[in-house]
Structure 1
């Protein structure tokens, strides 16, 4: 049972679609007011806000480049202005570009790492300054850090950095009563994962788990809900939400 109450506030980066939208909607169901962050697609963020408010929740949309410290400082200020503070920050914003390391385009490397590493760092930095006691910071890694599939090298490098940042920040926030963890999803049926994969490839990923299916965005949102609410004794950890994928 969630310990979330109606005076708690969450900011979900990348909250306008895929896993981010599922997380925003789940936290709203848990009773949190939710700020749905978007980078460029305000209309999709407003759709998420509308879905939350139609279900009786409270939500606003906030925009900004996660890698821009001024934009994210303004986003946090907007959340505090709307709801009075910030208790939970969930970093779902990220991009994935796949190619072998030997032929990986370095411009793509820089673009991906700007969002996945710098973006997570900037948001985590703001969270470390502004999250209230009793709060939680949840970053996003990937199960491929452990499975190490070919063509995922650059993406894994960015997410391994997120794990290192997460575990260090948990220790730096000693005495603040703020937990810092990461969720590492397995193959999940989102546009980010499905893009560019044929049916056979998707089927192989589904069969790789003992549960013999892809994850659903709601499965990942459930893990975030746990870390954001009742899991006050889980800190400095990476939670693999992947259906038992090795």
Structure 2
């Protein structure tokens, strides 16, 4: 069991949504360093080109796939275009947004945007990719969940609702597709230093509370998600299905 091939991604192609920056880009770097060819997805071609250039400087084979994950027609066309060049062996559904507001004043348009980006996109992309994976009787799908798949905080109830739904959608996907040779799991980050959390990182009161609340006593670094993502993408997780792997410094283990 010490064979490093167990975690190797050489010869596999990984599609990562929302991959031009943040956690998505870090996961692209991580999977690429383990041998995967990376397909970066996003809505903006220029942002993907910049991200691709950075990966290629590191010797990681990469290409871009420009389509809006909230538009099912674009998703279907985009996946078909990628599949014509080679199979998608690994899918990481990473695209996501956040919006904070008091629940009684939460704008309807922001509710719709959160549902579309954080939940509907996971269904659209996974469904389109799974049809090809099922035909090959193999494939890995990783849906990015959150500690908010389990816990709520003031001002983000709609976000929490989307991440709770992604957790259960992940379990449902595993229930339907595991028999076809697919492994579908969730990766749930705790509080990480990312662009999306920049305001919270800069908030001394919040950061102080978080460090006291988290057994590890600090924010997470995006690169600390790579090991879990590689595990779920590799043969090492061949009998892991419908599992939500939490990486949160112990936050959800402690009261």
Aligned-residue Cα RMSD (Å) equals 1.6
* 1:234 alignment partner in structure 2: 240
Indicate conservation of the 8 Å contact 1:144/1:152, yes or no.
no
Distance 1:174 1:234 in 2: 10
Tell me whether 1:160 sits opposite 2:175 in the alignment.
no
- Alignment-derived partner of residue 46 in structure 1: 49
The question of whether the paired residues in 2 share the 8 Å contact of 1:194 and 1:202 is answered with no
Distance 1:78 1:202, change over 3 A: farther
SS across alignment from 2:171: helix
- Deviates most, 194-203 or 46-55: 194-203
Contact 2:151 2:160 in 1 (8 A): no
Give the aligned partner of residue 117 of structure 1: 119
Match of 1:187?
191
2:89 alignment partner, SS class: strand
Query: Quick one: distance in 2 between partners of 1:103 and 1:163?
Result: 26
Counterpart contact for 1:9–1:32, Cα < 8 Å: yes
Aligned to 1:79: 82
Residue 150 of structure 2 aligns to a residue whose secondary structure is helix
| TM-score, normalised by the number of residues in structure 1 | 0.93
When normalised by structure 2's length, the TM-score is 0.90
Q: Once the 2 structures are TM-superposed, how far is the Cα of residue 147 of structure 1 from its aligned partner?
A: 2.6
Contact kept, 8 Å, 2:9 with 2:31, in 1: the verdict is: no
The 3-state SS of whatever aligns with 1:121 is: helix
In structure 1, the partner of 2:207 is 202
Pick the structure with more helix per residue: 2
Q: Which structure 2 segments of 5+ residues have no match?
A: none
Matched residues, number: 244
